[in-house]
């Protein structure tokens, strides 16, 4: 089974904000060389979710994990991403599409916050 990991952020008009997702994807790809790692945006930035999901399939993925780069399980991370997953699943029924939970309540996130609290501030 060929797995693609589709990291999904909201999207911003600020290119620098969108580049954070690219950094994350590149870092994850180095740790998971057997998986495709791609980025997509819910709105504003590109590629959009449908385009990136299609690219995963075109590159041979038969399992696509949609991973929200969202903190909380709000409407975007639950309902809207589920709608995108369902559209892709209808379009590509032979591919397994799985929506993962947002970052939210994870012990490692507490450590990240502590690192930020103890680290330098932003000028």
Which residues make beta-bridge pairs with 7? Answer: 39, 67
pLDDT band for position 81 (cuts 50, 70, 90): very high
What domain range includes position 26? 3-118
**Would you say residue 37 lies in a domain?**
yes
Q: Of 54, 64, 51, 61, which is closest to residue 97 (Cα–Cα)? A: 64
The angle at the Cα of 58, spanning 53 to 59, to the nearest 5 degrees, equals 100
**Would you say residue 62 lies in a domain?**
yes
pLDDT at 96: 98
> What span, in angstroms and rounded, lies between the C-alpha atoms of 118 and 121?
9
Look at the chain and report how many structural domains it folds into: 1
- The DSSP string of 42-71 is SSSSSSBHHHHHHHHHHTT-SEEEEEE--S
**Would you say residue 86 lies in a domain?**
yes
**Would you say residue 44 lies in a domain?**
yes
CATH number at residue 11: 3.40.50.1400
**Would you say residue 105 lies in a domain?**
yes
User: pLDDT by residue (tens digit) across 2-58?
Assistant: 999 999 999 999 998 899 999 999 999 999 999 999 999 999 999 999 999 999 999
**Would you say residue 109 lies in a domain?**
yes
**Would you say residue 76 lies in a domain?**
yes
- Token digits of residue 78: 């639950």
**Would you say residue 123 lies in a domain?**
no
């Amino acid at each position: 089974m060929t797995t693609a990991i589709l990291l999904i952020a909201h999207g911003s008009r600020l290119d620098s904000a969108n580049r954070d997702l690219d950094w994350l994807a590149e870092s994850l790809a180095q740790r998971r060389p057997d998986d495709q790692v791609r980025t997509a945006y819910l709105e504003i930035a590109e590629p959009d979710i449908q385009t990136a999901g299609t690219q995963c399939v075109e590159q041979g993925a038969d399992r696509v994990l949609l991973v929200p780069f969202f903190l909380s399980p709000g409407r975007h991370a639950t309902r809207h991403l589920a709608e995108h997953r369902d559209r892709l699943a209808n379009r590509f029924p032979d591919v397994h599409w799985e929506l993962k939970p947002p970052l939210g309540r994870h012990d490692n996130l507490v450590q990240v916050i502590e690192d930020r609290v103890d680290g330098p501030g932003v000028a």
